[in-house]
Structure 1
Amino acid sequence: MTPLEVARRSREESGYVGRGGVIVLFNGDVQSWVNVLRNPDHWQPGCIAADEAGRTWTTIAGNQGDGALMWLPNDPV
């Protein structure tokens, strides 16, 4: 299953359809829903965030202890 499919299923099962925000995944497992994509330093590098429109971002740089440096869009800007 792709990250978007996992995020979509999680939204449906948790009642977050139509609420906006993003589902954050790490290694294919749902970690959380957050209302706004922010604070990359709260996530380790390699996390993926997916919104309801199908856009995704990945945390990059940094390390597990200090968190990531930024959210990088996976789609063309």
Structure 2
Amino acid sequence: MFNDRARQLAGAMNLSPSVLLGRTEKHWLISQEYRAERGLKDGYVICHNGQVVGWRRDLDEASGWTPGCYAFDSEGRDWVAVGGTHDDGAERWERIG
């Protein structure tokens, strides 16, 4: 079942909730593999289009990332970069779950 937050984010991204959550799961698996390979215990792994695009100690400046990027912390919590444009970067990070 999709929670209200997932439905709202999916609508803002012009996706169905199932597509949003499917992309989130795919990127989460990629982020966990990246974290394990590098022994990362903290911070945020950032993914986009099926690949890791970075790691950050803090999840602060969304404007440095393209809308649609996903971020995952070491406890499995997830965020998506929303708003903004490809050229100017995202406006903010939104918690998915």
Q: TM-score, normalised by structure 2?
A: 0.71
Output the amino acid matched with 1:10.
Y
Q: Does 1:15 align with 2:15?
A: no
Q: Does 1:65 align with 2:87?
A: yes
Which is strand-richer, 1 or 2?
1
> 5+ unaligned residues in a row in structure 2: which ranges?
1-24
Output the aligned Cα RMSD.
1.1
- Higher relative contact order (CA closer than 8 Å, sequence separation 6+): 1
Matched residue count? 73
* Cα deviations by residue, 1:6-59 (Å, 9 ceiling, x for unpaired): 11100111221x2x1100001111011110111000001000000111100000
Output the amino acid matched with 1:26.
H
Q: Percent identity?
A: 32
State the structure with more CA Rg: 2
Tell me the equivalent position of 1:5. Answer: 29
